[in-house]
Chains A and B, each alone.
Chain A
Amino acid sequence: MATQTPYEVLGVKPDSKTDEIRKAYRKLAKELHPDLNPGKPEAEARFKAVASAYDLLSDPDKRSRYDRGEIDESGAERPRYSYRPHAEGAQGRKYQPRGDIDIEDLDDILSMFGTRGGASGGTRRAGDGFAMPGGDRLFSLAVDFVEAATGARKRLMLAPDEPLDVTIPAGIAEGQVLRLKGKGSPGFGGGPPGDALIEIHIAPHPFFRREGDDIHVELPVSVAEAVLGARVAVPTVTGPVTMTIPKGSDAGTRLRLRGKGIQRAGHEGDQYVTLKIVIGDAGDPDLAKFLETWAATHQTDPRREMGQEGMGAP
């Protein structure tokens, strides 16, 4: 569970005035006060949260420090990163201006300032070393569940007059980034263009669900289909297939359609179908009548395995 902000704890808006916050606090404090709620630990826990949220928000200094992100909701200092040690460390190298970065020997260092005296003599011409690769451009592309599962070609508009066809590989995952070489911003001074980075977002599907390369689906079946067995059409990401429901299948039975999941080179996923028995028209008088007769002579207890514990006294 995500941590609630002190504003959420008190149920007020982040721009609320001090007296609105005080009012909200008093109301909650009255409701939740431990002395008014004896033996209710959840009320006490909430009371504490409310009190500490009010403690923070009622102090204008603490409140503004919290709003600026300097302290967290418990009032503790948020650890701050200092940039300098990193910038001067090995990792900081990538942030150095390109073109200046490949300084290998004394000549290069001296020539940075146009100093004569390097062994090779002479200074660099102005403008040398200013070829810079273009920047990467980041895009976000929404694909639907089935397209992500089976792969697709999508057209993305990089600009109003700049369409780009993107091949979505089968089985792409949420948040995955595709890199298209050379489709970013143009380079400077003859430098190569950057890349287009495309972040993929997959829309959820009304009934398919993905786990790795496997597809899961819950399939409604009638009582008659479950008891008597049937051949039914089942949706898969590549279109409907016919599946046999074995005679006497119980609710929750999981059947596998081999190779009907996500197909990747070297590996194919399966589709798992979980049966969900639906009564449908529960008021059907014929069914009710039949079951009355049937139940009279068939005493079964489906909860037998649960034993007596926790079932309450008879």
Chain B
Amino acid sequence: MIGLDELLRHFAELERAELVRWVENRWVLPDIAGDHFVFHEVDIARVELILQFRREFAVGDDAMEVVLGLLDQVYGLRRQLSRLCDAVATQPPKTQAAIRRALPRAGSGSS
């Protein structure tokens, strides 16, 4: 957990105004603890990711909105899928086998 200034020190190439804009755009969601922004590990990693998109893939503002939106959806789905897998894993072997059989194979078209 670090504050705004510490975060800027960590990312030397990141301008304060730019980071503030990312927070405004809700690309990064720091907590407000008391009176200050608090960036958690996930927020720091996300800043790193956005910087990388900008620097290495030249993703602009509009595209960034789309990219992050899709990315968040993917992680949301992965989370749900992993819950479903956990639930399947707790089933008796017979049920698991039944689920496996019920899953259409990739390429066999939709059910």
Contacts and interface: CB of A to CB of B under 8 A. Distances in A.
Interface residues of B, number: 37
A91 B41 contact: yes
A82 B80 CA distance: 21
Nearest to B22: A138
Nearest to B81: A109
Contacts of A88: 75, 78-79, 82
Given A96-B72, A175-B35, 16 more contacts: A81-B45, A83-B45, A83-B46, A83-B48, A86-B42, A87-B42, A91-B42, A92-B42, A93-B79, A95-B75, A96-B75, A100-B73, A106-B87, A112-B80, A136-B26, A197-B23
A138 B46 contact: no
A173 B42 contact: no
A109 B84 contact: yes
Contacts of A27: none
Contacts of B4: 175
B84 A86 contact: no
Nearest to B76: A96
B48 A135 contact: no
Interface string A69-99: 1000000000011110011110111111100
Interface in A252-299: none
Contacts, number: 91
Interface majority SS on B: helix, strand, loop or mixed?
helix
B83 A109 contact: yes
A177 interface: yes
Nearest to A68: B55
Contacts of A89: 42
B35 A176 contact: yes
Interface majority SS on A: helix, strand, loop or mixed?
mixed
8 contacts: A69-B51, A69-B55, A81-B44, A83-B42, A91-B41, A100-B76, A138-B20, A197-B23
Given A109-B84, A135-B26, A95 B32 contact: no
Contacts of A136: 23-24, 26
A177 B41 contact: no
A100 to B, nearest CB: 6
B73 A81 contact: no
Nearest to A95: B72
Interface in B16-43: 20, 23-26, 29, 32, 35-37, 40-42
B73 A177 contact: no
A173 B34 CA distance: 12
B13 A69 contact: yes
A179 B13 CA distance: 29
